[in-house]
């Protein structure tokens, strides 16, 4: 984007909701927001089952390991609220007039996206490993669909969050186009005439000053001087 600062135009510009929704970054955030709902929703609703089909005790469908279910739910909730926060930040990003604040916002986006990519990678490996160790009991078969959905969308979340991190890195590398400030300065000075030399009183004097080369005329015989006779 020509004349842009960290991927956005001049501060104070009007927000176009249609253009905002069409941005790739917005689409990625909404996508990973949905993925996070699928992951923690699947575990909360169907991730705790009765392993042997008898008794009131409910265990995590991932090999009875409650830590696996708890980790999947935690990462999903963090991603859920993180997506909402950065969607709002993206919406009002162009209203940020300070270049320093824009840089901080982009760095925060980059760091959070990279961190969530790592958390989802761990979640995918953890859940997939525990699911492989799960004995296919009656209860496990009841929650199998939820377990597979959590694992699948954990993997998809890794890809989307990596893409968001790359988008944030691209925005950071764009930096600030300093022509913004030069253009604004020239626009502010365009109507101001160039100051000329200060004028005088407007009355030209008829007297001219001229210093004669000699103030006294030379006399042939200066007083007090006698020509010697030879």
CA-wise closest residue to 72 among 45, 94, 93, 52: 45
Per-residue pLDDT, 101: 85
> For the segment 177-210, what is each residue's pLDDT rounded down to a tens digit?
545 444 444 344 444 454 555 555 555 555 555 5
Per-residue pLDDT, 188: 44
CA-wise closest residue to 97 among 6, 2, 230, 21: 6
101, 89 contact by CB (below 8 A) = no
128, 152 contact by CB (below 8 A) = no
Q: Can you tell me the distance from the alpha carbon of 154 to that of 72, in angstroms, rounded to the nearest whole number?
A: 8
Q: Can you tell me the distance from the alpha carbon of 6 to that of 83, in angstroms, rounded to the nearest whole number?
A: 19
> For the segment 27-74, what is each residue's pLDDT rounded down to a tens digit?
999 999 999 999 999 999 988 887 665 556 788 999 888 999 999 999
Question: How high is the mean pLDDT of the chain?
Answer: 78
Per-residue pLDDT, 1: 42
Per-residue pLDDT, 183: 43
Q: How does DSSP classify residue 50? A: -
Q: How confident is the model at residue 8 (pLDDT cuts 50, 70, 90)?
A: low
């Amino acid at each position: 984007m020509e004349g842009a600062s960290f991927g956005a135009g001049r501060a104070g510009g009007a927000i176009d909701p249609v253009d905002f929704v069409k941005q790739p970054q917005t689409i990625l955030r909404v996508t990973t927001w949905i993925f996070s709902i699928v992951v923690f929703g699947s575990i909360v609703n169907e991730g705790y089952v009765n392993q042997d089909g008898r008794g009131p005790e409910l265990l995590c469908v991932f090999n009875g390991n409650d830590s696996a279910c708890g980790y999947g739910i935690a990462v999903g909730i963090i991603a859920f609220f993180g997506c909402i926060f950065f969607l709002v930040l993206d919406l009002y990003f162009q209203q940020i007039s300070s270049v320093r604040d824009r840089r901080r916002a982009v760095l925060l986006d980059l760091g959070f996206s990279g961190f969530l990519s790592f958390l989802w990678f761990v979640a995918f490996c953890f859940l997939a490993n525990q699911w492989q160790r799960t004995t296919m009991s009656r209860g496990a078969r009841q929650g199998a669909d939820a377990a597979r959905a959590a694992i699948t969308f954990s993997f998809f979340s890794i890809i989307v969050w990596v893409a968001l991190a790359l988008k944030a890195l691209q925005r950071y590398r764009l930096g600030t186009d300093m022509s913004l400030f030069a253009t604004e300065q020239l626009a502010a000075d365009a109507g101001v005439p160039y100051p000329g030399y200060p004028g005088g009183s407007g009355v030209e004097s008829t007297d001219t000053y001229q210093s004669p080369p000699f103030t006294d005329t030379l006399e042939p015989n200066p007083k007090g001087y006698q020509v010697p006779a030879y």
